[in-house]
A and B are shown apart, each in its own frame.
Chain A
Amino acid sequence: MTTIEITGLTKTFGPVAAVSDLTFTVQPGLVTGFLGPNGAGKTTTLRMLLGLVTPTSGTATFGGVAYHDLSRPLSTVGTALEASSFHPGRSARNHLRVYAIAAGIPLERVDASLAQVGIAEYADRRVGGFSLGMRQRLGLAFALLGDPPVLVLDEPINGLDPEGIRWMRQLLTALAAEGRTVLVSSHLLSEVEQSVDRVVIISRGRLVHEGTLAELEAGSRVSVDAPDRAALAAALTAAGATVDAKEDGIQVSALSAAEIGAIAHRAGVALSLLRPEQAGLENVFLDLVGDSNEGSGS
């Protein structure tokens, strides 16, 4: 199976560093979320990975081979980059046919891919008349064309309706379950948190977190309260937690609910409330990327 390895990847546009010394790996058999606000350098990173943009320094490889040197690129890495790379006058089937021919992929794969993404009935329609959701699916059909062990998808959920989002999540999970390496970018954690196993988070071109969502959540907040609030606060503070007393309880950072329960138990404080914050993950994400304006969009 094929691992994506990104090592010291850097891209500068004049004086501006779009991506700085980025290093991470993407493992097979998992869905990895590649997260960061718009402008964080996600797309530039993916385009360097795919040989479309030349890095200023650093390397990006698939199982040790750069994209440019892959002998059968579309059969090794399937890519959906943006929903607008189509000639509007070409039908969906012909769009895929062109690239299947170029990559030496059997033409049976064209209809198979269209069926897999659920747009077989629109195969002979010109792409110019497609909705954003249909274009997303056609982009995904292009990615699946070579039945590749690696999938790199840029914002695949963008423009899908709720039913389409559910379908996409199931597809991503299924693809990873088949042992494929799946890298999915998004600027919204909430969009992918249900389907990703690992996350790579970047902000302003730099890596800020690489790991599982559970590790990320370990840093999130928990609401806790007790009839004897002062005793609880003292016990938590003594245990080294950051405590923020509010009207309706205490906000605790950097401890899990289980750890807080244990601390309260040892201190002999009866709890009246112990609740991991629902918005915790998103808040941690926003704290990490240091841009609280992000994530307000739908």
Chain B
Amino acid sequence: MSSFDNAIRAEFAKILTVRMWWVLLIILVGYIAFLAVLIGAIFGGLADQLEAQGAPAIPAATLPPLVYSTASSIGYVFPVLFGALAATSELQHKTLTPTFLANPRRLVVLGAKVIALATVGLVYGIGALLGSVAPGAAVIALTGGDPGLDVSDTWALFGRILIAMTLWAVVGVGLGTLLRSQVLSIVVVLVFTQFLEPILRVGASVWEWTASVGKFLPGAASDALVGASVFTMMGGSGGGPTVQLDWWQGGLVLLAIAAALTLIGYLVTWRKDVT
């Protein structure tokens, strides 16, 4: 399988020889660090005042997962965006021509791209975790809370966050292959993740039957996989505790979405004539 090995190394070379990957990574880490500090400070620092005024406060044990999981619950848009840009870049710049000339086995090339971008998703996950945990734990500790870094559940959470970020990058590859256009991909990713899906998830939580469908939305599945998120904290009070999938079910749903998008992308774009 040296051909597959070469294909994977070539996909890594494509990613690493253009600035995009580290520009997005720096923005991701900075953004997540900012949000982790903000959320940690609000819920940690104001907990006493909220309690004094009789407002519902967050139990001390749930604050660290809430802060740390911003890495994926908010940061997931970065791997999906990068995956989509990496896939559409080949069409945008017509580099599918040299790519398929160098390796005419197109399925092998797509498989290599998925593996390379899943790795980038993992790296983005590590970066986002550093962004959320390092400053987040410091803020929680400063405001008198327990960062929970010596608890095995916290480290299991980190592991699930890394799985989620890895899968999101593959979702991006599938989406980009399917949509073909760079601009369209950016618009679809941003509109869906930042606007459409949040509305759908809130809307779906109103009735029980819509909630049972809504939990299969990619963002909901991802939050179920990770097991904690700002979104489920806020939405959970209305819908009750049963609207979420188990963590492994969430992971499988996200994996299925990634696989389905990539397969459809292969069939409608990747296999077609390159002109």
Contact = CB atoms under 8 A, between A and B. Distances in A.
Interface of A: 43-44, 47, 50-54, 67-68, 70, 73-74, 79, 81-82, 84-91, 94-95, 97-99, 101-104, 142
B104 A104 contact: no
A175 B206 CA distance: 72
Contacts of B98: 85, 99, 142
Contacts of A82: 94, 97
Contacts of B273: 47, 52-54
Nearest to A66: B104
B13 A101 contact: yes
A89 B23 CA distance: 13
B95 to A, nearest CB: 6
Contacts of B19: 89
B93 A86 contact: yes
B101 interface: yes
A11 to B, nearest CB: 9
Contacts of A91: 17
A94 B17 contact: yes
Contact of B102 (A89, A94, A102): A102
Chain B interface size band reads 20 to 34
Interface stretch (B1-9, B152-160, B191-199): B1-9
Interface of B: 2-3, 6-7, 9-10, 13-14, 17-20, 89, 93-95, 97-105, 273-275
19 contacts: A47-B273, A52-B97, A52-B273, A52-B275, A53-B274, A68-B104, A84-B94, A85-B95, A85-B98, A86-B93, A87-B93, A88-B93, A98-B17, A99-B98, A99-B99, A102-B102, A103-B6, A104-B2, A104-B3
Contacts of B17: 90-91, 94-95, 97-98
A88 B19 CA distance: 11
Nearest to A53: B273
Nearest to B6: A104
A89 B104 contact: no
A79 B11 CA distance: 20
Contacts of A103: 6, 102-103
Given A52-B274, A85-B98, A98 B18 contact: no
A10 to B, nearest CB: 14
Contact of B100 (A51, A86, A98, A142): A51
A81 B18 contact: no
A50 B102 CA distance: 11
Nearest to B5: A104
B241 to A, nearest CB: 48
Contacts of A104: 2-3, 6
A47 B103 contact: no
B20 A50 contact: no
Contacts of A99: 10, 98-99, 101-102
A79 B94 CA distance: 15
A281 B98 CA distance: 35
B84 to A, nearest CB: 16
A89 to B, nearest CB: 5
B97 A73 contact: no
Contact of B20 (A44, A68, A89): A89
Which 3 pairs show the lowest CB-CB distances between chains A and B? Answer: A102-B10, A94-B17, A102-B102
A206 to B, nearest CB: 20
A88 B20 CA distance: 12
Contacts of B95: 85-87
B13 A51 contact: no
Contacts of A79: 101
Given A47-B275, A85-B97, 14 more contacts: A44-B275, A51-B100, A52-B100, A52-B273, A52-B275, A73-B101, A73-B102, A88-B93, A89-B20, A97-B17, A98-B10, A99-B101, A101-B13, A102-B7
A86 B90 CA distance: 9
A74 B14 contact: no
Given A52-B273, A98-B14, A74 B101 contact: yes
Residue of A43, A85, A90 with highest tally of chain B CB at under 10 A: A85
A254 B227 CA distance: 85
A88 B17 CA distance: 11
A132 B161 CA distance: 46
A70 B102 contact: no
Nearest to A94: B17
Contact of A102 (B6, B89, B94, B275): B6
A47 B19 CA distance: 31
Contacts of B3: 104
A102 B103 contact: yes
A87 B10 contact: no
